[in-house]
Structure 1
Amino acid sequence: MPPRDEDDWSDDDDDEVHDTVTSVQLGVPDGALDSQADLRDAAVSRIGGLPAFLTSPEPPFESSLCKNCSTPMELVVQVWCPMEDSAHDRALYVWACSRGVCQCLVGSVRAYRGLRFNEKYAVKLEKKKARQVKQAKPVEEEKLQAQKSNPFSLDGGFASAPNPFGLGSQIFSAPESKVAAEVKPGEDAEENGEDDEDGSSSEGGESNSDEELVTAMASSTLESTAWASAPSYPALYMSTMAEYVPPEQKSPFKVEEVAEEVDDGKKGKDSTWAMEGYENSLDIDQVFERFIKRVGYEAEQCIRYELGGTPLPFASDEVFDTLFPKPPAPNMPVTKANTMVVPPAKRTFNPSAIPQCPHCNGKRVFECQLMPNLINILRNKNTSGPAKPQTDEERRKEVEAMLKGESSIEQTGMGWGTCMVFSCEKDCCEENGSSLANCWREEFVLVQWDR
């Protein structure tokens, strides 16, 4: 069933209530991460704790230093996020400074991506691409024949381009899944029952390689490096869920109002936060109100992940104006200005102001953002999670109170509303034109502060 047009209303709409699934993946806490094997496994996403790196030796310890106070920062999230069509294992790391004097300063939140070339998966990826080409050939021939008989075909005979941001189902590794870095999301190299070149079935080979990788990760340690003594929060598992947004309740009465609209360039169920008409009031930050409303649907979310998607802005500030620039005002006629009906201006997400990747000069795209509930989860270094079990309604009220500055809960010194991470569109892993087996890249972070 196609999504309803939110601009239309009829009496029949009251009888239709459908949740909308967006393209955003939400990361939520999922209990204490106390398994030593999982703590050292880079394929296990986490909140807090110490980082688990893909390579040895580890990246320079200076990566975790605040650019303002030069002291080590705590890891707030680590996300296992390999790209399905890439031969590199991939993880994202974000550190944040909790010192009050560093809040609202650039460099107090830093994000890195770690890449490691996976030779075995690269071979399987080549086989997969070869099979796809082989399977697509008959289809292309059929299309060509159809086009010969139909000169007005709109397809043009070209296959649709692959999605460069295609992610599999395991964007965050589930604690119990033990997903190894060698078996990437979307892996279907042997789904047709084909054997490897050596003539043996690949199923047993994959199982063996998985065990070897998990063993190798589990045997790695930070004890002999500076990372072992880094400050840290108690580690929590992070699991993922799809974002569900309930439909708006339509009013039978149309109210004319002058309001600024924001367009994220998407339609239908993939729209991340299409903003409806707002009250024409100078006393209400309608972007902030929309943020609270959207987060309230799942108050436990600590991270929103949508590679190549659209961020959810926290408030109307400089960052908002940078990412969603206000369009120029329309030219008004000299006469009859009072009778002109001017449609509300639409703000569209425009990441062109984000600096390019300094390594490949490629564009950076939005990847994820940290949410206020993450501060709530990490508020007490001496506990491994919330002080007591809470209902969904209690969590929702707690997050709303914290956002409005009315919470009595002891918090860390972190004072941001949301931290947006923008990463290289090409996911580059090269130096001076040569491909690297491993690399460690700092990415760009924009912070909207809760001040």
Structure 2
Amino acid sequence: MPAEDDWSDSDEEVLSDAETSVQLGLPDGHLESSNDILDAAVSRIGGHPAFLTQEPPFESARCHNCSNSMELLVQLWCPLEDSPNDRALYIWGCARSGCQRKTGSIRAWRGLKLNEKYAAKLEKKQARQKQLEEARIKASAEEQARAAAAKTNPFAMKGPTNSNPSPFGLGAQVFGGTPTPSTITGAEAGPDMDDDEEDADDDEDSSEDEDDLVTAMASTTLEDSQWKTAPAYSPMYMSTVAEYLPPAPRARVSPEEALLEEAAEGKTKEGGWGMEGYENSMNLDQVFERFTRRVGYQGEQCIRYELSGTPLPFAGDSVFEQIFPVPSSPYVSVTKAAFNATAAKRTYDPSALPSCPICKGKRVFECQLMPNLISVLETSAENKGSKFQTDAERRQEIEQALKGSGPVEVQGMQWGTCLVFSCEKDCCLEGTARATSAWREEVVLVQWDE
């Protein structure tokens, strides 16, 4: 037999990239299909918004500083698996130079609409999960009862003496007899069958759901709407890919040192970086260097999406201080006497963010806009301006510019990243009652480019 190569922990060993829980949004060509433009389920960069329900107030897209209507930067289709609502996120931005570095020049809104078909499926799924859990609890109790019975003396006589004892009775007592059909309940066998039925139903209804959604979007056209007159960048498709990070070189350290290092950096067993720490004395350059190194693995990213995840700070500014506060304890506790205590690192803490004004729920990080988005929008604006315009379109553009509501140069946007935080409960309420739709503004923290 050929000898197998010995395992080596050499630094030159080739390791595979690690997939994180972050989804990256990349530009993917111009959006020209009329159906896609009207479809809220199509994520996009620029363009006009496609709403799930009736048009929200036009003031939703006005800058808090200049009061002019802003351009849509991105629209994200982001429904939650355990929610009965269709869900989309809309982010507008003002590129006027006088509005930069001011709160209210970037605004984000969350749109919800009850999906009755999915709500029925979700209710059925939850009932089936509850049934399955009850079956597991029952099966576990029966197993424990059999285990307890097996501990009794197998040679002891049980019950009245049988006049015709079975010659295999002793073995049945020692090794356990075959369970009778009555011990297998329908709850134990039912869920698998329900899963198959659900898969079949999903396959049959998927095309119908898509047709229904497109029809619903077509009925909410913006042709006769004030939203149609708002300034807009050329719309582009947005594709989504998972983020991959190359592995760090494997250093020759003891297992204890490796565990200590991973605990300090916040790495998880799955290779994630959700609790990555920052030094207490971080300055702008150090935070920015880490930002550029992480983004450099996929430079085309315009969006980073990780619901309930950890944002990637752009600079060591006041926003960084707010969501990565100085730890209360200055040192990390170490159990090994051979190691000295190390300084505790900053970790993400969103507790300082304002709660949802509707349901009082906590805010969680959802996504952030990346610097490349500015370049992509700038390019789309230049391409739009180079296209042939009719006299009517040219007059309309001049009128909008004179009124201060026309398209503006995207170079005016000076942010490094825009962090969007949404309601943890994804509430859809009107007062205390549940509503069939909702339009809610979410929190945006902007780290400006110095």
Q: Is the 8 A contact 2:284 2:317 kept in 1?
A: no
Distance change >3 Å, CA 263–CA 308, structure 1 → 2:
farther
Q: Is the 8 A contact 2:277 2:345 kept in 1?
A: no
Distance change >3 Å, CA 431–CA 274, structure 1 → 2:
closer
Q: Hey, what does 1:126 align to over in structure 2?
A: 123
1:217 Cα deviation after fit: 1.4
1:194 Cα deviation after fit: 5.5
Distance change >3 Å, CA 264–CA 84, structure 1 → 2:
farther
Indicate the SS of the match to 1:130.
helix
Q: Distance in 1 between matches of 2:196 and 2:424?
A: 32
Q: Hey, what does 1:426 align to over in structure 2?
A: 425
Q: Is the 8 A contact 1:54 1:116 kept in 2?
A: yes
Residue 414 (1) aligns with residue 413 (2): yes
Letter in 2 for 1:271: G
Q: Distance in 2 between matches of 1:47 and 1:146?
A: 56
Letter in 2 for 1:285: D
Q: Distance in 2 between matches of 1:122 and 1:105?
A: 41
Indicate the SS of the match to 2:411.
coil
Q: Distance in 2 between matches of 1:101 and 1:206?
A: 48
As a proportion of its length, which structure holds more helix?
A: 2
Distance change >3 Å, CA 35–CA 384, structure 1 → 2:
farther
Alpha-carbon deviations, 1:299-339, whole Å to 9, x = none?
010000000000001111111111111124649xxxxxxxx
Letter in 2 for 1:84: E
Q: Percent identity?
A: 55
Indicate which of 105, 127, 133 corresponds to 1:136.
133
Give the superposed CA RMSD: 3.3
Q: Distance in 2 between matches of 1:27 and 1:11?
A: 36
Q: Hey, what does 1:214 align to over in structure 2?
A: 214
Letter in 2 for 1:123: A
Q: Distance in 2 between matches of 1:19 and 1:424?
A: 32
Alpha-carbon deviations, 1:124-168, whole Å to 9, x = none?
1111112222333332223334566899xxxxxxxxxxxxxxxxx
Alpha-carbon deviations, 1:8-56, whole Å to 9, x = none?
xx94343141210000011101110000100000000000000000002
Distance change >3 Å, CA 139–CA 264, structure 1 → 2:
farther
Q: Hey, what does 1:303 align to over in structure 2?
A: 303
Indicate the SS of the match to 1:55.
coil
Q: Hey, what does 2:272 align to over in structure 1?
A: 271
- Runs (5+) with no aligned partner, structure 1: 1-9, 152-187, 332-339, 388-409
1:80 Cα deviation after fit: 0.2
Q: Is the 8 A contact 1:324 1:349 kept in 2?
A: yes
Residue 59 (1) aligns with residue 56 (2): yes
Q: Hey, what does 1:242 align to over in structure 2?
A: 242
Residue 230 (1) aligns with residue 227 (2): no
- Which moved further from structure 2: 33-42 or 280-289? 280-289
Letter in 2 for 1:36: S
Q: Distance in 1 between matches of 2:143 and 2:418?
A: 50
1:253 Cα deviation after fit: 9.5
Distance change >3 Å, CA 19–CA 204, structure 1 → 2:
closer
Indicate the SS of the match to 2:417.
strand
Q: Distance in 1 between matches of 2:193 and 2:304?
A: 30
1:265 Cα deviation after fit: 5.4
Residue 112 (1) aligns with residue 135 (2): no
Q: Distance in 2 between matches of 1:273 and 1:202?
A: 33
Alpha-carbon deviations, 1:324-377, whole Å to 9, x = none?
11124649xxxxxxxx95512211110000000000111010000111110110
Indicate the SS of the match to 1:37.
helix
What pairs with 1:85-100 in structure 2 (closer than 5 Å)?
85-100=82-97
Q: Hey, what does 2:438 align to over in structure 1?
A: 439
How many residue pairs match? The answer is 365
What pairs with 1:27-66 in structure 2 (closer than 5 Å)?
27-56=25-54, 58-66=55-63
Indicate the SS of the match to 1:325.
coil
Q: Distance in 1 between matches of 2:222 and 2:109?
A: 18
Q: Is the 8 A contact 2:325 2:346 kept in 1?
A: yes
Q: Is the 8 A contact 2:266 2:274 kept in 1?
A: no
Letter in 2 for 1:224: D
Q: Hey, what does 2:176 align to over in structure 1?
A: none
Q: Is the 8 A contact 1:380 1:411 kept in 2?
A: no
Q: TM-score, normalised by structure 2?
A: 0.73
Q: Is the 8 A contact 1:128 1:189 kept in 2?
A: no
Q: Is the 8 A contact 1:94 1:110 kept in 2?
A: yes
Q: Is the 8 A contact 1:264 1:273 kept in 2?
A: no
Q: Is the 8 A contact 1:261 1:346 kept in 2?
A: no
Q: Is the 8 A contact 2:49 2:75 kept in 1?
A: yes
Q: Distance in 2 between matches of 1:189 and 1:313?
A: 47
Q: Distance in 2 between matches of 1:107 and 1:277?
A: 28
Q: Is the 8 A contact 1:261 1:276 kept in 2?
A: no
Q: Is the 8 A contact 1:261 1:345 kept in 2?
A: no
Q: Hey, what does 1:192 align to over in structure 2?
A: 196
1:213 Cα deviation after fit: 2.6
Q: Distance in 2 between matches of 1:31 and 1:268?
A: 37
Q: Hey, what does 2:76 align to over in structure 1?
A: 79
- Which moved further from structure 2: 319-328 or 27-36? 319-328
Letter in 2 for 1:249: P
Q: Distance in 2 between matches of 1:245 and 1:143?
A: 42
- Runs (5+) with no aligned partner, structure 2: 1-7, 149-191, 332-338, 387-408
Distance change >3 Å, CA 194–CA 415, structure 1 → 2:
closer
What pairs with 1:395-410 in structure 2 (closer than 5 Å)?
none
Indicate the SS of the match to 1:379.
helix
Q: Distance in 2 between matches of 1:130 and 1:143?
A: 20
Indicate which of 15, 18, 22 corresponds to 1:17.
15
Q: Hey, what does 1:185 align to over in structure 2?
A: none
Q: Distance in 2 between matches of 1:289 and 1:450?
A: 14
Q: Distance in 2 between matches of 1:286 and 1:125?
A: 46
Distance change >3 Å, CA 128–CA 277, structure 1 → 2:
closer
Q: Hey, what does 1:292 align to over in structure 2?
A: 292
Q: Hey, what does 2:390 align to over in structure 1?
A: none
Q: Greater CA radius of gyration, 1 or 2?
A: 2
- Which moved further from structure 2: 204-213 or 420-429? 204-213
Distance change >3 Å, CA 448–CA 148, structure 1 → 2:
farther
Q: Distance in 1 between matches of 2:264 and 2:412?
A: 34
Distance change >3 Å, CA 82–CA 263, structure 1 → 2:
farther
Q: Hey, what does 1:70 align to over in structure 2?
A: 67
